[in-house]
Each structure stands twice: as C-alpha cells, then as structure tokens.
Amino acid sequence: MAHTYEFFHVIQGYLDEAAAVVQLPDHVRAILAQPKNEVIVHFPVAMDDGSMRVFKGYRIQHNNLLGPFKGGIRYHETVSLDDLKALAAMMTWKSALMDIPFGGGKGGVKFDPRSHSTDEVMRITRRFTHALGNNIGPSYDIPAPDVGTNSQTMVWMMDTYMNTLSHADKNAQRAVVTGKTLTCGGSEGREKATAQGVLHCITEWARDQRFELEGKTAIIQGFGNVGGHAGVLLAKLGVSIVGVGDHTGYLHSGEGFNVHKLQEHVRRNGSIAGYEHGERIERADFFGLQADLFVPAALENQIGVDEARALKVRLIAEGANGPTHPDAERILAERNVDIIPDVLANSGGVTVSYYEWVQNRNSEKWDLEVVDDKLERRMKRTYGQVRFFAEERRVSPRIAAYCLALERLGRAYAERGIFP
C-alpha cells in the first residue's frame, strides 16, 4: 500500500494523459477536471440508546452531459470529499466508455456501518436520503450500491424518496435508485453484474493470450459482493481460488477454497474471519502467493510499489475502483503483468444498473438470460474497442479506456457547444 495517495489527483493524471492522446479541447478538459456539483449535508440521527449523532453525507455530481448523474453510495469511515470526486469522475468515464446514457456521480456517508445496528443504518439511510431531497431523482441523479451498501440500502432510499416528496405517481419514482431487491424493482443479474463483467474481461483476455483458464489459480482481495461473486464465477471456469483477504485478514489454501461455502460464511458473518478452512497469512504474503490471476475487489490504493514487486500473477482484473497506484502500474508493466483497468473491468455493475432503470421506466421485467446476454455482448464489445485502441495508439488499456470515454464526451460537447 502506498503511503500517500491522492485519489482525485491520480484520476486527474489519467484524464490529462488521455486528453493529450485524443487532443481533447482545453475547455472540455477543464470542464471535466472538476465535478459540476458537490452536495454536502449534515443530518442528525437518533441512535438505539436514545442519544443523537450528526452525520456528514455527500453526493458529488461529476457530469451529466450524456445522461443523468449515476453512481454508487459508499458507507465507510474513510469517506472523503476528495475520494468521492475521484470516484464520481470514474463513473462519468465508465458510462461514456460503455456507451450508456448516463453521466457520473458518487456519494456516501462517513461512518462504519459494521459498528451500527440494522435499525441505525436504516435511520441513517433515510435521513441522508431526506437531506439529499431533490438533489437525486430518476431523471436527474440515480444512486446505486457501493462499498458498505447493498440492495436493502437502496430499497430504504427508494422508499424514503417516494414518501417524502409528493409525487402523484409513486411507482414511477422507483428508478430513483438501482441495485434494488428483486421484490422492490431490482433487476435479475444486478447483484452479480460487476463480477460477471470482470469475468467477461478475464475470458476475453484469456482468449487473446491463448491462456487456458481451466486448472489455473487466482487470488481475490475483498470478499463482498464483487469479490465473492468473482470467486464463484471463476470457480465455475475451473479456476481455483488459493488466496482471499478482507479487512479482517488474509487466508491461503493450497488446494483452493470452496468459494460457495466461503461466500455463505461471509453472508452470515460479514467477513472471512473465523472461516474454518485455509491458513491465516500476513497481508504481504498474500500478495506474494503463487497464482495466475488477481482480482482486487476491495478499496483503492491497495497495490503499491511493494505489492507490485511481490505479485506473481499474469493478470490483474480491477474489480475495485482505483486499486493500483500509478507507480505500481509502471513496475507491473515492466514485469509484463497485464491490467484490465477498473473503468472497463468493473463497469458491468453500472451497465446492469442501466438495464434495471430501463425496466423500471417501461414497467418491464427481463429474464436473467436476457440481462446476462446483453451484458456479455456489451462487455465483450467494449473490451475489444479498448484493446484495439491500446494497440493502435500504443497506450495502456487504462489510457485507452479513458480515451474512448473522452472521445464520446468530446463529440457531444462539440455538437452541443457551451450555453448560452
């Protein structure tokens, strides 16, 4: 882990690099270098013991040129304005890259949801949604799950939004959030969508490299929604998961974990701690494990210079946002470790969020096969576009992904001009 990591600064660096490659006009680069709106709210919530605590919540709206602001809500004790600005910008690049009619945004509340009861988390969510008021909306800004939030959080947000604003047609407001439960308007395939997208990227990479996935090994950092589903989907392809880790520690299994059991354990206990199989190892040893693939699926800035030198894998598929420090990326490039960058690798989540939003707006319910098939085609098409751009222009896949996003945004700015 690198000591200093200014996430927003790092993302700006990629923007500048890609803007130069595609010769993005300076004024467009200047617009995209900052979020449009930064909403910060403070709100009181009653705790179970009768006391009252004031929380700080954010919604950063980076860009809505191509469609409504779109992106997750993060509950974590480290949530900060700077990080959310970076994450909101990344959502703009993801939506533009995937060619879905959304912009980018990100929000969050600075607190540790693990140290609160379900009732407290519900009241925090409802007061936060109330405080955001009309700053969110199904045609304006559409939140989704992220680190520390899930489908239940989204349903509370939806319900609060519907009930606190006087809408004639409440059901039309379902699309104010995506990533909901199936009962309350969620889409088939949304929960596993991010991991499924990562898997499509991995299989495309393996096809290009003539790399047989069956019988190979992988390590996964973070075993929440993205990491857990990635483990299950990799196992289906015959890849064995030999190392896992989360905020509670790291585990190694030479023969490979039974990922279904591990996922069940995490569902019941909230983390991998106490899992009866595998041996406990140190964080540094995890990064040095002998494996073919690495899926970081936790927080940003996890792969610093030391980790880049230690990793023995051939491929890093970034399920998390911003897991690799730029200094580490240079070392990995020298060591011929491939990286499928976050804005491509984990964009399956926002893509199926878009499908959920379309279903809500049209009062439709699509079968899992329909969602899976659409996602697969879109991921593979975009993977191919990124790969082609990277080869043609001799840039990294990350810069290629940014370039494709910026080209789309640049064209829209050129056609629309700047008001008035």
**CB 347, min distance to ligand GLU, A:** 7
Chain residues in the site for ligand GLU (CB under 6 A): 70-72, 144, 146, 178-179, 321, 346, 349-350, 353
- Complex with ligand GLU: residue 324 or 346, whichever CB lies closer: 346
- Complex with ligand GLU: residue 217 or 353, whichever CB lies closer: 353
- Complex with ligand GLU: residue 93 or 286, whichever CB lies closer: 93
- Complex with ligand GLU: residue 231 or 322, whichever CB lies closer: 322
**CB 162, min distance to ligand GLU, A:** 19
**CB 135, min distance to ligand GLU, A:** 16
- Complex with ligand GLU: residue 73 or 259, whichever CB lies closer: 73
**CB 415, min distance to ligand GLU, A:** 26
Q: Length of the chain in residues, anyone? A: 420
Question: 252 pairs with which residues across the strands?
Answer: 243, 279
**CB 142, min distance to ligand GLU, A:** 7
Q: Which two tokens stand for residue 235?
A: 């196992």
Nearest in space to 300 (alpha carbons), one of 327, 317, 318: 318
Q: Which two tokens stand for residue 229?
A: 């589903």
Asked if 380 is an active-site residue, the reply is: no
Task: Give the residue closest to ligand GLU by C-beta.
Answer: 72
If DSSP states are collapsed to H, E and C, what string results for the chain? CCCCCCHHHHHHHHHHHHHHHCCCCHHHHHHHCCCCEEEEEEEEEECCCCCEEEEEEEEEEEECCCCCEEEEEEEECCCCHHHHHHHHHHHHHHHHHHCCCCCEEEEEEECCHHHCCHHHHHHHHHHHHHHHHHHCECCCEEEEECCCCCHHHHHHHHHHHHHHCCCCCHHHHHHHCCCCCCCCCCCCCCCCHHHHHHHHHHHHHHHHHCCCCCCCEEEEECCCHHHHHHHHHHHHCCCEEEEEEECCEEEECCCCCCHHHHHHHHHHHCCCCCCCCCEEECHHHHHCCCCCEEEECCCCCCECHHHHHHCCCCEEECCCCCCECHHHHHHHHHCCCEEECHHHHCCHHHHHHHHHHHHHHCCCCCCHHHHHHHHHHHHHHHHHHHHHHHHHHCCCHHHHHHHHHHHHHHHHHHHHCCCC
Active-site residue identified among 70, 94, 106, 192: 106
Torsion of CA 376, 379, 384, 390, to 10 degrees: -160
| CB burial string 25-47: b at 16+ within 10 A, e below | eeebbeebeebbeebebebebee
- Complex with ligand GLU: residue 92 or 396, whichever CB lies closer: 92
Do 140 and 173 meet the contact criterion of CB atoms below 8 Å apart?
no
**CB 382, min distance to ligand GLU, A:** 14
- Complex with ligand GLU: residue 132 or 289, whichever CB lies closer: 132
Which residue reads 């923007």 in tokens?
Answer: 15
**CB 166, min distance to ligand GLU, A:** 26
**CB 268, min distance to ligand GLU, A:** 24
**Residues with active-site annotation:** 106
